[in-house]
Amino acid sequence: MIKGTSSIEASYALARERFAAVKVDTERALEQVDRIPISMHCWQGDDVRGFENPQGALTGGISTTGNYPGRARNADELRADAEVAMAQIPGPKRFNLHAIYLEWDRPVERTDLRPEHFQRWVDWARARGIGLDFNPTLFSHPRSEEGTLSHPDPAIRRFWIDHCKACRAVSAHFGASLGTPSVMDIWIPDGSKDLPYDRFGPRRRLVEALDEILAAKLPREQHRDAVEGKLFGLGVEAYTVGSHELYLAYAATRKVMICLDTGHYHPTELVSDKISSVIDFTDGVLLHVSRPVRWDSDHVVLLDDETQALAFELVRGGVLDRVSIALDYFDASINRVAAWVIGTRNVRRALLRALLEPGARLAEAEGRRDGTARLAWLEEHKALPWGAVWDEYCQRKGVPVGSEWLEPVRAHERKILSQRGTP
């Protein structure tokens, strides 16, 4: 160890020299990664229950597995848990809310949502210096059981159109109040478990509904619209109305953001391969980072090959300013706060590792068609001491290094979560 420095600082000094040898500036990488916000999802903390009717059953293909003690039962508990998680995660963060996470002293129908129903969230976010994102909730409601924006009944469609319009106003309020645009993502659970006769009708009704919802132009500095497709889900295995192809065409022609959720595709498809294909035709990309296991099961994000590949694509393409990064998973079988920490740290770790890639050297080799050098340097980069740079980043940001974050989370579990009991 270098005298007068900690082992982390000494390791970083050596790592900095190693990276400098391949013309990578670790200080620049640390500055860059510290400018990338990651939107943490509120629904990890309470199993997607929300506060509209927290005891209600989940529908629309939404389900959680497990009954680990300590689920947040109200917004104050959810915010307190999120703060514990945020204290273990370096770098800028946002918080992503669903419409069912409103706070009010009496029931509010989803078509009647107003900014004041989320004012405590805005006050909390302002105090923490973070932005908020938003999602209409088109599931777990009596009027969502047989479809929403594609429903053949005009009254049902009107209900959900009005809900989405109300949500856009809430989202714009978030952006205006916090000085950073809120990304609002529309996802619907509509479809058929078995073979439908008519595939055209529901999709045409969906497009008409979306056009009405998005007709009013909102300031881009306050609000951004995104649409999220899916391959299939529980109850819609044979036919998903809001497919990837439909939403991609919609986003390209209406110039809204396309949401690419890493769990919403066939197991042989890679979202990392899609970004460069779609981003130049849409108003940007919203990434929902999750981990599918055989189907869209939304497991906690790992630092696996696809998570790393996503980060490489964003950095190599120079599109970080055109992509919003959010998380989307919910695991009730483990400590929910730890699930937040593990997933968010892994996404930021992948981003830092991508920023430490010897991009100039790789681009130069590819430019002269030197596939040998390109492959060699790609492989050698895997062994460079990027972990020491990550540890330095955590130390500079005042968050635990390595697995040291686990003890504060365990302490919160012993003192707070265990008192809430099993869901």
The whole-number average pLDDT for the span 22-49 is 97
Tell me which of 47, 225, 328, 391 is the catalytic residue: 328
| Residues listed for the chain | 423
Given 41, 163, 223, 264, which residue is catalytic?
264
Average pLDDT for 279-289: 98
Would residue 12 count as lying in a domain?
no
For this structure, is 228 an active site residue?
Answer: yes
Is residue 148 domain-resident? Answer: yes
| Per-residue model confidence (pLDDT) at position 26 | 98
From the candidates 283, 296, 357, 413, give the one annotated as an active-site residue.
296
Indicate whether 54 pLDDT > 80: no
Q: What is the mean pLDDT of the chain?
A: 95
Report the distance separating Cα 74 and Cα 101, nearest Å.
9
Q: Is residue 386 part of a domain?
A: no
Does 261 participate in catalysis according to the annotation? yes
- pLDDT at residue 173 above 60? yes
Let me know if residue 145 belongs to a domain: yes
Say which residue the tokens 């982390």 belong to: 8
Q: How confident is the model at residue 3 (pLDDT cuts 50, 70, 90)?
A: very low
- Whether residue 414 is contained in a domain is answered as no
| Each residue's pLDDT tens digit, 72-131 | 999 999 999 999 999 999 999 999 999 999 999 999 999 999 999 999 999 999 999 999
The yes-or-no answer on residue 217 being catalytic is no
Kindly tell me if the per-residue pLDDT of 4 is higher than 60.
Answer: no
397 is known as an active-site residue:
no
pLDDT for 338-355, tens place per residue?
A: 999 999 999 999 999 999
| pLDDT given for residue 1 in this prediction | 38
Q: For residue 187, indicate whether it is catalytic.
A: yes
Structure tokens at 394: 């955590």
Is the residue at 53 inside a domain? yes
Of 228, 313, 331, 357, which is the active-site residue?
Answer: 228
Which pLDDT band holds residue 410 (cuts at 50, 70, 90)? Answer: very high
Residue 288 has pLDDT above 70, yes or no: yes
236-260: pLDDT as tens digits:
899 999 999 999 999 999 999 999 9
Percent of the chain past pLDDT 90, that is, above it, reads: 90
Among candidate residues 52, 185, 298, 331, the one labeled active-site is 298
* pLDDT band at 2; cut points 50, 70, 90: very low
Active-site hit among 93, 151, 230, 274 = 230
pLDDT band at 55 (very low <50, low <70, confident <90, very high): low
- Evaluate whether 23 touches 381 at the Cβ level (below 8 Å): no
Instruction: Check if the beta carbon of residue 240 is closer than 8 Å to that of residue 230.
Output: yes
User: What CA–CA distance (Å, rounded) separates 2 from 6?
Assistant: 8
Range of the domain at 353: 36-361
DSSP 114-170: -GGGGHHHHHHHHHHT-EEEEE---SSSGGGBTBSTT-SSHHHHHHHHHHHHHHHHH
Q: Is 298 a catalytic residue?
A: yes
Distance CA 314, CA 310 (A): 6
Q: What is the pTM of this model?
A: 0.95
Of 151, 288, 381, 412, the active-site residue reads: 288
pLDDT for 304 equals: 96
- CATH number at 103 reads 3.20.20.150
Q: What is the mean pLDDT of residues 160-165?
A: 98
User: Exposed, middle or buried: residue 303 (CB in 10 Å: 0-12, 13-18, 19+)?
Assistant: middle
pLDDT interval class at 65 (50, 70, 90)? confident
Pure H helices in 232-335: 244-254, 275-278, 305-316
Average pLDDT rounded to a whole number, residues 294-317: 93
DSSP 56: S
- Catalytically annotated residue among 261, 313, 331, 392: 261
**Residue 5's pLDDT band (boundaries 50, 70, 90)?**
low
CB neighbour list of residue 375: distance below 8 Å, 6 or more residues apart: none
Which is catalytic among the residues 43, 121, 160, 187? 187
Cα–Cα distance list, 8 to 32, 342, 388 (Å):
20, 21, 7
Q: Please report whether residue 401 resides in a domain.
A: no
DSSP letter for each residue of 228-244: E-BS--TT-SSEESSBH
Rounded CA-CA distance 12/165 in Å is 50
Residue 108 placed within a domain? yes
* Residue carrying the six token digits 């950095």: 315
What does the pLDDT read at residue 296? 72
Count of domains observed in the chain: 1
Annotated catalytic, 328?
yes
Q: Reply yes or no on whether 264 is catalytic.
A: yes
